Structure formats: C-alpha cells, structure tokens
Amino acid sequence: MTGFKTPYGLIGRKLGHSISPEIHMALGNPHYSLYELEPEELAEFLSDTRLKALNVTIPYKLDVIPLCASLDPLAEAIGSVNTLVRQEDGTWKGYNTDAYGLRCMMRAGGLTFAGQHVLVLGNGGVSQTIQAIAKLDGCAALTVLDLAGTEYSYDDLPRFFGSTTLIVNATPVGMYPKAGASLVTLTDFPNLRGVADVIYNPQRTALLLQAEALGIPYAGGLTMLVAQAKQAAEHFFSRSIDDAKIAEIGAEMQRDAENIVLVGMPGSGKTVIGAALGKLTGRTVIDLDAEIVTRENRSIPEIFADGGEPVFREIESAVVEEQSAKRGVILVTGGGVVTQERNYAPLRSNGRIYQICRPVSELSREGRPLSLGADLDKMAETRMPMYRRFAHAAIENNSTPEAAAAEIWRDFCAYTRTEWAEFEHAGRA
C-alpha cells in the first residue's frame, strides 16, 4: 500500500514523468507528492484523513466519483473528477478543473468548439470533460472514437474525414516514451480547422507536428496542465490566483523543458557555440556526432569508409530520435542532419531549432568527410533550403561564440514568453 507523504498530491497509476509537483511548488505549495496506486488500493488510500486535497489522473477520474460525498455542479454535469478536497466533516468533494484547463488550452491555440464538427479520440476521464465542454460551448456535432467502439471505433474513421473540422486527442498515443505515433493522418481531413492534444510530453506530438506542417492552428497539453493546476490550487486553499500565473509558470516550464537545437553547415561553429551556450545556461550539451562515435565505437570517417553516407545517415537518424527525447538540453547536430526529412519531427517535438550561419569561405573542413575536397559552395546551395526548412531562427556566427550563444538565449527566452502571451496580462487588464 502506498504510504502517506504529504497532505496534497496527485493520484494515478503511473506517474513517473509527472511535472505536477513542480507546478504546485510554483503555485506556492511545497507539500505536494506523487501517489502511484493500483485500483484495489484507491478506496483505502483515500480513507487516510491526513490527506487534505488531491489531483486525480489516469485511470481514476471516474473511479473516484463513488468515493465522493458531494460533487461540484460542473463535475457532476461532466461525470469526471480530477480534483478532490477534504471537507470539514472528513468527506471528499469532487471538482473538475480540467474543464477550465481545456478552455485555456483552446484559447491559447486560437481554437473554439463553437460551431465545429468535433472528433474526439478516446473515451476516458479527460474525454468526458472534452465532450461536455464541447457541447456546452456550442459544437455543431460531436463524434467519439475509442478502441472499445463505445460509440464508434477507429475503423469508422473514414466516415468522418469530410465532416470533421476540429480534432482533439484524449488518448496517450504519441506520449513519451512512445512519441512519434498518431492515431490519424490529418491530410485525410480536407475541412480541418484546428487540432488539440492533451499530451504535454513531448511539447509537440506527432499529431501536432502534422498540424504545424499543414498550417492548421493547434494547441498542446502543457497549457491545460498548468491552468487546471492553478484552479485546483484555488480549490485546495480557497483563494483566488491571478490568471497571469499561468503564463509565468508555463513559460518557465516550457523554457526549462524545451531543447535548443543547432543546425548548420559543417564547420559553421555549432560545436563552439553549443559549448558557450551550455556555459551560459548551465544546460547539458549533447554533440550528436560524438554520440554516434560512442555508439559505433569508431570514428565518423571510418563509418563513411565502411558503409558510405547511407549507412551513416541511418545511424545518425537513430541517434537523433534517441537524443531528441531528452528535455532541456542543447543538441548540436552534424551538418547533414537536414538532408533527412525524417529528422525534423524528433528534433522539433521538444525543440526550437537554430541555424548557425557563416560564410562558406570561412567554413572549417578538418575532420569532416563530406567537406574534404568538396565544393562547399555547391553543398551550401543544396542545403540552405533544407536548413531554412528546419530552423526557426538564423544566427550569424560573425563575432565570438559567446555573442552568438547570448543571441540564441535571448531569442529562446523571448519565444517562450510569447508562447504564453495569452495569459500574461489576463488578470491585470
């Protein structure tokens, strides 16, 4: 039986990667723990009167309802509870703060349920909230798909290709450590106007990366997570918290978790700038070429000599996928990483990508198999569109590595603040 740790916390079955304690710490509550419970432990655990308030996640958002003496009207209407607060008589009252978080997430992505033909993937606890809010907020039609085929199964997907205008993923498909998976292919939906995904790790799931590539407005789950926690804390302590706190916490968490990725021509200075950036930020620097050498136990020229470029690119893509799953690091890539389109998704899923720019005449060739004896002007002409395709910002390496690193960090911090601008002045207007 899971033992008591603190009066506040999160209950669920698997919580190894939860960042809820960090969010509640930022909200002023240092007494918040993770409680992993098996289904048979739930009732006994909740009987511990030392517990004052809890958040609830998969798979217990429905299971806790019979254990509550009362429900907030919204939680009762939705039929899903993600927040429990101990009452003076010792009983539990259930709330649903996912609804508030969901509306914040939709607003942050410029999305709305009003008038939309909504397709919800999954039918668990968070899906119940999505379905209820979609109806309350005026959706034109609502369809739910799940494995059990409660309403429709995924085999029925083609029936809704033409009518769907908004997709919301309420499943764990695409979540770390199995990032890269998606239940749907967005090009199948010709009238799609928006996509939302409740997953927050990775920052951009395979589903959201599809939306980004197609220019479809989208919203990710970190906003929902932070916003629902803010409202839960209000219930925990019976006090109001400024909505601007959502921006403050969310921007900081995104900044801490998102990777900085450096791409650019061989010899453009990525390695020395990455080192300077690591010193400036305190982040771990991961050189993907060095990781390849360690993994293969042979040098890059030896890999090229043994198997040629195709073999090297296969190895490189495997390392890209593996290392991109890390969070809050600096990834220094090889010059040719952009020649493989498959590398974009893992690098982008948790990262902002910067192109390091330097005149071709100043590029170093030392230790670079494809640069030795190559026409670098021709290589640059071929690769520049690829670098522009991958990168979100370009940094000129025309001064010191420290200056370039400082420019990257300024841009990165400004970018994360901009991502949360919707809430920054919410309570101060």
| DSSP calls for 204-235 | S-HHHHHHHHHT--EE-HHHHHHHHHHHHHHH
Residue 47 β-bridge partners: none
What is the CATH classification number for the domain harbouring 57? 3.40.50.10860
CA angle 23, 27, 30 (to 5 degrees): 80
The pLDDT, as a whole number, for residue 125 is: 82
* Whole-number Å distance between alpha carbons of 66 and 319: 47
| Per-residue model confidence as pLDDT tens digits over 70-81 | 999 999 999 999
Q: What is the pLDDT of residues 120-168, one digit of tens each?
A: 999 988 899 999 999 999 999 999 999 888 889 999 999 999 999 999 9
Number of domains in the chain: 3
**171 & 143 share domain:** yes
- Considering the domain boundaries, does residue 76 fall inside one? yes
Residues 265 and 385 in one domain: yes
Residue 140 · residue 133 · CB < 8 Å: no
Considering the domain architecture, whether residues 115 and 95 belong to the same structural domain is answered as no
Percent of the chain with pLDDT strictly greater than 90: 84
> 17-21, 296-300, 322-326, 358-362: which range is least confident on average?
358-362
pLDDT at 360: 84
Measured distance CA(174)–CA(187) in Å, rounded: 18
Rounded to the nearest integer, the mean pLDDT of the chain is 93
pLDDT-based confidence at residue 426 (cuts at 50, 70, 90): very low
Is residue 126 domain-shared with residue 268, that is, in the same domain? Answer: no
401 domain-assigned: yes
> Is residue 65's pLDDT more than 80?
yes
* pLDDT value, residue 363: 75
The residue among 342, 127, 98, 107 whose CA lies nearest residue 217 is: 107
CA-CA distance, 421 to 113, in Å (whole number)? Answer: 21
DSSP per residue, 139-205: -SEEEEE-TT-SSB-GGGGGGGTTT--EEEE-SSTT-TTSTT--S--GGG-TT--EEEE---SSSS-
Backbone angles phi, psi at 181, to 5 degrees: -95, 150
| Residue 269 and residue 373 in one domain | yes
Range in 8-17, 368-377, 387-396 with the lowest mean pLDDT: 368-377
**Confidence bin at 278 (pLDDT 50/70/90):** very high
Q: CB-based burial of residue 79 (10 Å sphere; 0-12 exposed, 13-18 middle, 19+ buried)?
A: middle
Judged against a pLDDT cut of 90, whether residue 370 lies above it is answered with no
- Same structural domain, 264 and 308: yes
Same-domain status, 44 and 116 = no
Interval 269-285 mean pLDDT: 97
- Strands of the sheet containing 117-121, edge to edge, are 141-145, 117-121, 166-169, 194-197, 218-219
Q: What percent of the chain has pLDDT over 70?
A: 96
pLDDT of 376 strictly over 90: no
Asked if 36 and 63 touch (Cβ cutoff 8 Å), the reply is: no
Secondary structure of residue 86 in the 3-state scheme: strand
Whether 392 and 275 share a structural domain: yes
- Closest by alpha carbon to 205, among 189, 182, 223, 233? 182
Whether 388 maps to a domain, the answer reads yes
**In this model, does residue 389 exceed pLDDT 80?**
yes
Task: Assess if residue 428 is contained within a domain.
Answer: no
Nearest in space to 224 (alpha carbons), one of 125, 98, 319:
98
Question: Average pLDDT in the 387-414 region?
Answer: 96
Same structural domain, 395 and 293: yes
Check whether 187 has a pLDDT greater than 90. Answer: yes
Q: Which two tokens mark 391?
A: 């990168």
Q: How far apart are CA 342 and CA 358, in angstroms?
A: 25
For residue 279, indicate whether it is catalytic: no
In a domain, 33, yes or no: yes
CA–CA gap between residue 238 and residue 226 (Å, rounded): 18
* Assigned token pair, 126: 């968070």
Number of other residues whose CB lies within 10 A of the CB of residue 260:
24
Predicted confidence (pLDDT) at residue 372 exceeds the cutoff of 60: no
Spell out the residues 6+ positions from residue 305 whose beta carbon is closer than 8 angstroms to its own: none
Position 46: which residue type?
L
Q: Tell me, yes or no, whether 69 lies in a domain.
A: yes
Is a pLDDT exceeding 80 seen at residue 429? no
The answer on 264 and 197 residing in a single domain is no
The length of the chain is: 429
What pLDDT is stored for residue 180 in this prediction? 87
The domain that holds 262 is classified in CATH as: 3.40.50.300
- What is the structure's pLDDT at 18? 87
1 in a structural domain: no
How much is the pLDDT for 362?
Answer: 73
pLDDT at 424: 57
pLDDT at 361: 79
Asked if 170 contacts 124 with a C-beta cutoff of 8 angstroms, the reply is yes
* 5, 14, 52, 61: the active-site residue: 61
| Structural domain range at position 84 | 8-99+225-238
Give residue 367's pLDDT: 52
Among 207, 238, 269, which residue terminates a domain? 238
Per-residue pLDDT for 58 more than 90? no
Do residue 27 and residue 174 come from a single domain? no
Tell me, what CATH number does 134's domain have? 3.40.50.720
371 pLDDT above the threshold of 80:
no
Residues 39, 148 share a domain: no
User: Is residue 424 one of the residues assigned to a domain?
Assistant: no
User: Any idea what DSSP says for residue 259?
Assistant: E
